[in-house]
Homo-oligomer: A and B are copies of this chain.
């Protein structure tokens, strides 16, 4: 299908030209005739080609020339906080993505999702077509708070608000709590999209150096005193990009400092389900008083089923419901919530997590060994997940390496896109599940 599309876009096939017969194309491409039929039907549905009774398919008049497939992010775009996401999301299928922030499809619970889709095809009419309630699916919210109770967090389903992603959850909280010019603390390094998001709020972003057991507490306290930040935005467990988890002592000190300065903390659970052994949670120590919990299923279940959540104090939850209504109407898709609910409630999500954790532990070990042959070493050893935050040898400039990688068909994640202070020029974040031998061959060549 892509091939036909390209031929039309490049004007090798012009309006009125006849397409190869189904039988011929199936033979040429070594696919089944039904695959070709489906592809032709799809192109016809898009108006690119037209069937003529008894005579096959022809290129339609007005088929748009000059543009094949997706719009790729331009090669020469500056390496800013958007760089990694745009290059990764808009990359062609042939691009390698050792810098991207998600697992390859084959690592995801595909069978469970297909099963959930088939089951949802039989669900109640209202779930398929109505907006749903303002906080999102009651069934999913009831399910989400069960493990909270086991952690000692007393939150009911009404304290949870579903959103369309973890990022949107954080954005909603920022819209409610922040005003332009406010100061916000983030870890240095931190997830690059936290910076992009906070820039969209026109706030002052203050970085606190991150250590293998959490933010540097004395620098954190200094920043509180100096900048009077309104919010601290951080990951719960398996910090992005370092893979580090907070120590109990750091968690306690951090909350004490936050209380002294009336700081609100957003703790993002996005990678937490990758932890084979659970680390400490700010939300559990604090009990959703000044901590807001956000999370999503994009990394562990599906990024295509957009569904995130916020658990917060009742007054905050109530205000966020209004804000989500005003800015997105309704909010979380009842259909998306139903799909998540089904994979969680039939146990397939938890079985998937358990096998995933083991597989990732092996894969991290292999990647560490392979990277060591290029003299690339992790800054800390993560207890789970798929990231390795590595220092490059001989102070190699990671941005230059990433630009070179892009020219050679791979998206890398250079250190400074994560660093507010831009002090991570010789760091690179690697995704251990997206490192075929070509990536290592490139590194050997480039760093050798």
A interface, CB within 8 angstroms of B: 41-42, 45-48, 62, 64, 67, 69-71, 73, 81-82, 85-86, 89-90, 102, 105-106, 108, 110, 113-115, 117-118, 120-122, 125-135, 138-139, 142-143, 146, 149, 156-158, 164-168, 171, 175, 180, 193, 196-197, 199-200, 298, 301-306, 321-323, 325-330, 332-336, 339, 344-346
Contacts and interface: CB of A to CB of B under 8 A. Distances in A.
Contacts of A125: 105-106, 108, 110
Max chain B C-beta neighbours (<10 A), residue from A90, A113, A327, A345: A327
Given A48-B142, A303-B330, A325-B82, A298 B110 contact: no
The prevalent SS among residues of A at the interface is: helix
Contact of A303 (B129, B197, B303, B325): B129
5 contacts: A42-B139, A71-B135, A168-B327, A175-B200, A197-B327
Nearest to A117: B121
B327 A200 contact: yes
A89 to B, nearest CB: 5
Contacts of A113: 128-129
Nearest to A301: B129
Contact of A327 (B122, B167, B344, B345): B167
Copies of this chain, count: 2
Nearest to A142: B46
Nearest to A72: B133
B102 A131 contact: yes
A73 B138 CA distance: 14
Contacts of A126: 105
Contacts of A196: 322, 325-326
Most B CB contacts (10 A, CB to CB) among A73, A86, A197, A330 go to A330
Contacts of A121: 114-115, 117-118, 121
Task: Give the one of A48, A64, A135, A304 with max B CB within 10 A.
Answer: A304
Given A85-B134, A89-B330, A304-B335, 10 more contacts: A69-B138, A106-B125, A108-B128, A110-B125, A115-B121, A131-B303, A193-B326, A193-B329, A302-B335, A306-B306
A119 to B, nearest CB: 9
Contact of A89 (B41, B114, B132, B323): B132
A213 to B, nearest CB: 28
A133 B139 CA distance: 31
A129 B126 CA distance: 25
A129 B163 CA distance: 18
B46 A146 contact: yes
Contact of A304 (B115, B122, B131, B164): B131
A328 B156 CA distance: 26
A280 to B, nearest CB: 23
Q: What 5 A-B pairs have minimum CB-CB distances, sorted nearest first?
A: A45-B345, A196-B326, A117-B121, A105-B125, A167-B329
Nearest to A342: B45
A329 B129 contact: no
B327 A171 contact: yes
